[in-house]
Structure 1
Amino acid sequence: MIEILTPVQVDRARRTGALVGDILQTLRERSEVGTNLLDLDRWTGEMIREAGAESCYVDYAPSFGRGPFGHYVCTSVNDAVLHGRPRDQRLADGDLVTLDLAVRLDGIAADSAVSFIVGESRPEESVRLIETTERALDAAIAAAGPGARIGDISSAIGAVLTEAGYPINMQFGGHGIGTTMHQDPHVSNDGRAGRGYQLRPGLLLALEPWVMSDTPVLVTDDDGWTLRSVTGCRTAHSEHTVAITEDGAEVLTRPTS
């Protein structure tokens, strides 16, 4: 299903997006050496409830996962890149952390992810991975707008990732979003410009470039959810929800401060 939101619904999406951005910003600030992933999950649940919102993840049970996710935020560390299920693990200096969050407020969902390094260490490859996914996300947003096609976004992402020398996994990518978290159209992280669904005002898209430094192949943890690089290399993931407007693409999930 491809859902086109009304102006009233897009305005609600702005509030949801701001909440997602603010929660991720708070979690990033609280992510220090020694912070437990389970505490990040607990804090997320508290902030969602305080806002009168609901989690898109706790009861989420798609075909590629093993039962309901059962947590409020995805916490992926180092070689984990997607769907990282929180566990009893404390962050260490130099860890590359990705936090991925989706919530629904007033009936509209928003989804965002951020990658960052914990502590004082700044491993060169980790910095490069994060910067590359952020540049690819910027390129995707710039390519989105009324009249553009999904292939234009995919091509823009793929060009940045390929130029940086990273292999691209095509199993998981961006997606439509609205009254539910995952909708059509699928937005691959590589593709051909001029192809695919034509964007219209009122469409919401979650755009999410992600990479692994030396492989396109994923492996699933025993928890049935956490996806890691098959080689154990580091990974990064950047994501924003955008609304297609008459003028372009409006980013909804930036933090408000």
Structure 2
Amino acid sequence: MSKIIYKTDEEIELIRQSSLLVGKTLAEVAKIVKPGVTTLQMDKIAEEFIRDNGAIPGFKGMYDFPNTLCTSLNEAVVHGIPNNKPLQDGDIISVDCGVLMNDFYGDVAYTFEVGNVNPEVKKLLEVTKECLRRAIEVAIAGNRIGDIGYAVQSYAEENGYGVVRELVGHGLGKNLHEAPEVPNYGRRGNGLTLKEGMVIAIEPMINMGVKNVIQDKDGWTIVTKDRKPSAHFEHDIAIRKGKAEVLSTHEFIEEVLKNKN
């Protein structure tokens, strides 16, 4: 595993700027999420907004990925490729987005409800979001990577959900994916010690059914083995003493959603 690159306060500030731009981009996307809209339309809005703000899409072209957004529908966990199929009432869609600005990446994900979503599925979204909140709470200097994973896993499994093992959070900086890996499962007190100056993306991927996933035939999309829905939320944080510093925000998105209802 490559070594961890610790960030200065100035660098953390630049990552914050990038992360906030991703939050604003996802808020632009939130404005149009409804039945009948396609994920390619969402992708176009995101790319234009990112470029208009002097940044470049972080995912497009990386590992040959074709688009700005990863749009993962219902049983798709992550890495869904935008297409021309209209969203249906009752769908959920995880939208993951990255930007590169001032040499640093931001990386944020949010799972949207499309129209009227079944209460069971709504609960999956709420629990996944709470998993992220609990993970951030323990992501402080002196704790360990296993504490983050444990916070996610214990709450998800308490609610009867499966926690994806194959995909993990990660360090973030001048590269989109840096050391360390940040799994969503683990044992308290285990793994690497968290230190000030580390910047990580924490991203619970929680399945309504089994934890197992398979790769779709498109070579990108990861789907749940039992084809039950999966939810995904992500924040970028800097490790500090006593309390994590959250560099990204979902507030712009939630403001838009509130005004739509």
Decide: shared fold, TM above 0.5: yes
Give the total of aligned pairs: 250
Q: Percent identity?
A: 34
- Structure 2 residue matching 1:46: 3-state secondary structure: helix
Q: Aligned-pair distance for 1:255?
A: 4.6
Q: Aligned-pair distance for 1:173?
A: 1.4
Q: Distance in 2 between matches of 1:198 and 1:150?
A: 7
- Structure 1 residue matching 2:16: 3-state secondary structure: helix
Q: Distance in 1 between matches of 2:124 and 2:60?
A: 29
Deviation beyond 3 Å, 4+ runs, structure 1: none
- Structure 1 residue matching 2:157: 3-state secondary structure: helix
Q: Distance in 1 between matches of 2:202 and 2:210?
A: 21
Q: Aligned-pair distance for 1:122?
A: 2.5
1:182 counterpart = 2:177:
yes
Q: Who is 2:214 aligned against?
A: 219
Letter matched to residue 171 of structure 1: E
Q: Aligned-pair distance for 1:30?
A: 1.3
- Structure 2 residue matching 1:81: 3-state secondary structure: strand
Deviation digits for residues 80-118 of structure 1 (CA, Å, limit 9, x no counterpart):
111011111111111111100111111111111111211
Deviation digits for residues 171-226 of structure 1 (CA, Å, limit 9, x no counterpart):
11111111111111111111011111111222111001111111122122222101
RMSD: 1.2
The answer to whether the 8 A contact 1:18-1:256 is kept is: no
Q: Who is 1:203 aligned against?
A: 198
1:93 counterpart = 2:95:
no
Structure 1 or 2: more helix by fraction: 2
Normalising by structure 1, what TM-score?
A: 0.94
The answer to whether the 8 A contact 2:137-2:244 is kept is: yes
Deviation digits for residues 117-176 of structure 1 (CA, Å, limit 9, x no counterpart):
111x12022101101110100000000111111111111111111111112221111111
Q: How does 1:122-201 map to 2 (within 5 A)?
A: 122-201=117-196
Normalising by structure 2, what TM-score?
A: 0.92
Structure 2: 5+ residue stretches without partners: 253-261
Q: Who is 2:110 aligned against?
A: 114
- Structure 2 residue matching 1:29: 3-state secondary structure: helix
Q: Who is 1:35 aligned against?
A: 37
1:44 counterpart = 2:46:
yes
Letter matched to residue 214 of structure 1: G
- Structure 2 residue matching 1:90: 3-state secondary structure: coil
Deviation digits for residues 20-49 of structure 1 (CA, Å, limit 9, x no counterpart):
111112212211111111111111110111
- Structure 1 residue matching 2:200: 3-state secondary structure: strand
